[in-house]
Chain A
Amino acid sequence: MTKNTDKPVIDPFTAAMSVVDVKGRSPWEDAWHRLLKNRAAVYSAFIMAAMILLVVFGPMLISWESDFTDWDNTSTPPSFSTGHWFGTDAVGRDILVRTLEGGRISLMVGLVATIVSLLIGVSYGATAGYFGGAADRIMMRIVDIIYALPFMFFVILLMVIFDRNILLIFAAIGAINWLDMARIVRGQTLSLKNTEFVEAAKACGVNDWDIIRRHITPNLLGVVIVYVTLTIPQIILAESFLSFLGLGVQEPMSSWGALVSDGAQDMESAPWTLIVPSVFLTVTLYCFNYIGDGLRDALDPKDRV
């Protein structure tokens, strides 16, 4: 109902605007220009794009299968003559293919678990901030309590207790990282809900959920984008942490953490098995952190670290 009525009201407005010659720059355009000036962030974005392409398409281009054991070349150092550009592990598997395929898992966990934490965090934070009062106090008190718990320990417990399937990894890791998101979104919502446009919407009789959905959430986009980019590396790190302990993804699947763990065991005889996945993991985390930093400076200039 509301949708149909506000369409025609907006359209003449935009029509009138487009006639005017002077074109202002939206805050988003401003932010975009600030971001482009941040060289570290731009380079990181390019490297990250290359990394994603490499991880997605790389394994198709390499003739080795990730589980093929080349018994003629076990623990061989990187060399072009054997065809294993980044060497092989103790049972002759190609390190490059394994690292790229591990990267698929690591990046996928990073993405999916971030979406989980995003959904929980934004809906929780927006609800608490919008309703305020007792609901807000209780909800934020719960966040404070969970914040004080040694969360990684609970994730370890979860992973030990249940069958380690990949869905559980998504859920468990996503569930750790929603707290920051909830806090930030709540703060932002608190300041948004006293703005004129929300009051106007209230005065028009728009119900609470529609206000949260149509007026509050779009305005949260800036901070949310920033924290999503900063959450992804945290989650990739958490997954690698679990996999390193042997509690993450299970063979034959592999992730960067699991590969680093394998490599650490053979590092004296075959240091490349440690170094190759370590470099991929670190470069990825480094780039995500720089992109997130750049986005924060661009979108949220008042809160820089």
Chain B
Amino acid sequence: MIQDSGMARHVLRRLLSLIPTLLMLITVAFFLMRMAPGGPFDSEKFLPAEVEANLEAKYHMDESLLQQYFRYLSQIAVLDFGTSIQYKDWTVNELIAQAMPVSLTIGLSAMLLAFLFGTLLGISAALRQNTRVDYLLMGVGMLGISIPNFVVAPILTLLLAVYAGLLPAGGWDWSIASMVLPVVTLALPVTAYIARLTRGSMIEVMHSNFIRSARAKGLPESTVIRRHALRPALLPVISFLGPATAGMISGSVIIERIFTIPGLGSYFVQGALNRDYALVMGVVIFYGVLIIMLNFLIDLIYAWLNPKVRYDEKH
């Protein structure tokens, strides 16, 4: 009972703290984009002054910056991200709705892959601490962390697509074959990092007193690992999932570009280059909200897995 109200308070406190983060995200993105010299209509050939004035009026760019800012805030309060300037017939909502499933599929599969393989490799390295297997796994892991996405992607493409002809070199048609390269490339550094993280915390946990007690009461080693060691060992991995997602999202900008995938990352870069205010803001806010919500969820999972957090809240 007491525990429940502690948890509820924890949830509420966390939810309230999301508001300033969101506001800051929107504000920074808005003013950063508007500070830019040059506007979205610069690339059009010679616009008569009247036409340009009309265009600016249509997108409310004739108003003061502050007016525009509050207009934008009231707009996104009802989840309307406005119209894209570059893709004339599209609203930003439609563009995001179209690109999101692609990016989400890649991101989620990569995250799942990274979590599964990362923890598995980390645990097996930890249980064989200081053996050759451990050194090999960690050496490969360090390589995985060190090789940038944009090096892995072309090299894998060269080997598997160009030379071996096993997979398509780019493009996206929702087939498994077209997903393999982008997902693997995106998952690689995160897998490696999770493996190192898991190994470190697993080693620490295996040396702690409660594991010794569990062994002393005669539990078989596999039960000790599954029932006692796993949960505390995974805590650092859980809290790493937030930064990992943020990292994957910026990685996806590169991946989508290399593999010509029509996802949110490609829209973002294109939009930024074309000063498509509404589109860029839409993507930034969408991803920002995603990261913020995810961090919130991770926080809850963490508090649920780790009773210490809940008890600390009360004092």
Contact = CB atoms under 8 A, between A and B. Distances in A.
A is bound by B: yes
Interface of A: 141, 144-146, 148-154, 156-158, 160-162, 233, 237, 240-241, 244-245, 257, 260-261, 263-264, 267-268, 271, 274-275, 278, 281-282, 285-286, 289-290, 293, 304-305
Nearest to B145: A289
B249 A264 contact: no
Nearest to A153: B284
Interface of B: 17, 20-21, 24-25, 28-29, 32-33, 35-37, 142-143, 145-148, 150-151, 153-155, 157-158, 162, 196-197, 200, 242, 246, 249-250, 253-254, 257-258, 268-269, 272-273, 280, 283-284, 287-288, 291-292, 295
Given A245-B269, A305-B200, A260 B150 contact: yes
Given A149-B25, A237-B148, 16 more contacts: A149-B288, A150-B249, A151-B250, A153-B268, A153-B284, A157-B284, A245-B253, A260-B154, A263-B154, A271-B158, A282-B147, A286-B143, A286-B146, A304-B200, A305-B197, A305-B200
Nearest to A278: B151
Contacts of B21: 144-145, 148-149
A281 B17 CA distance: 40
Contacts of A157: 29, 32-33, 272, 280, 284
B28 A149 contact: yes
A296 B84 CA distance: 48
Nearest to B161: A268
Nearest to A303: B200
Contact of B295 (A148, A241, A285): A148
Nearest to A145: B21
8 contacts: A157-B33, A233-B146, A244-B150, A275-B155, A281-B151, A282-B146, A286-B142, A289-B142
Contacts of B258: 264
A154 B28 contact: yes
Max chain B C-beta neighbours (<10 A), residue from A144, A240, A282: A282
4 tightest Cβ-Cβ pairs between the two chains A and B: A152-B250, A161-B36, A264-B154, A285-B146
Contacts of B155: 274-275, 278
A285 B246 contact: no
Max chain B C-beta neighbours (<10 A), residue from A160, A241, A267, A286: A160
Contacts of A286: 142-143, 146
B200 A158 contact: no
A129 to B, nearest CB: 19
A264 B157 CA distance: 10
B30 to A, nearest CB: 11
A44 B241 CA distance: 29
Contact of A148 (B151, B283, B291): B291
B250 A149 contact: no
A160 B151 contact: no
A134 B183 CA distance: 44
A156 B287 CA distance: 14
B154 A154 contact: no
